[in-house]
Amino acid sequence: MRRNTGDTGRIPPVYRAVMAAAGPVVRWWGRLEVEGLDVFPAHGATIVAANHDSSWDPVVIAYAARRRRQIQALAKASLWKHPVLRRVLDGMGQIPVRRGQADTDALEAAIRCLADGGCLGIFPEGTRSQGRQLRARSGAGRLAQAVPQARIVCAAVSGTVDIARFPRRPRLKVTFFEPRPASTAETAQELSTRLTAELRAVAPVAAPGGRA
């Protein structure tokens, strides 16, 4: 797996190509607005915790941060079943995770990414909200505790559920912000729950058609 420590010159060609391909949808059609990019570290171990309402979320967040660095992400392992998509995901340095079970391989790969100074994206909710308020999972908190030197940046993304509502154009927005400092008394689950609450305070649960 290829890793990146934040040097934009080392971003894999496949990652650059995907960002370029996403540009017309995200920047033009989606009218992307980005806030708080100045808090996003350009170097060093970084955990990007984000809310999750649409399959477009990882692409939109990565595009919003593209001028800073590459974001490696944990993605559901079933995506690797498609040969072409598997090559793209591997080329982008994404990490497959088996949902619904304790995937120690994925956790170890994520920890290695951070220990090498990489930037890792994770959805504390684990899956798309589908318009529901979901309980946070402990993964984000476990990573933060396993690599305490990693900085945590929240990415609140909104508007992605409306990308496919042609001819109505969405208004995409990604807000990067630093969460409240973690407490040594917090458990991994408590940290994940708090990160989710802070994200949802900025980007409430959304479903296609404006339902919430």
In angstroms, the Cα distances linking 27 to 21, 31, 93, 179 are 11, 5, 23, 26
Number of domains in the chain: 1
Residue 163 lies in a domain: yes
Confirm if 71 and 3 have CB atoms less than 8 A apart. no
Q: What is the pLDDT of residues 100-121, one digit of tens each?
A: 666 788 999 999 999 999 999 9
| CATH code of residue 111 | 3.40.1130.10
Residue 1 lies in a domain: no
Residue 88 lies in a domain: yes
Q: What is the pLDDT of residues 116-128, one digit of tens each?
A: 999 999 999 999 9
Residue 19 lies in a domain: yes
Residue 38 lies in a domain: yes
pLDDT of residue 117: 96
Residue 155 lies in a domain: yes
Of 62, 79, 75, 77, nearest to 14 by C-alpha is: 62
Question: For residue 13, what are the domain limits?
Answer: 8-210
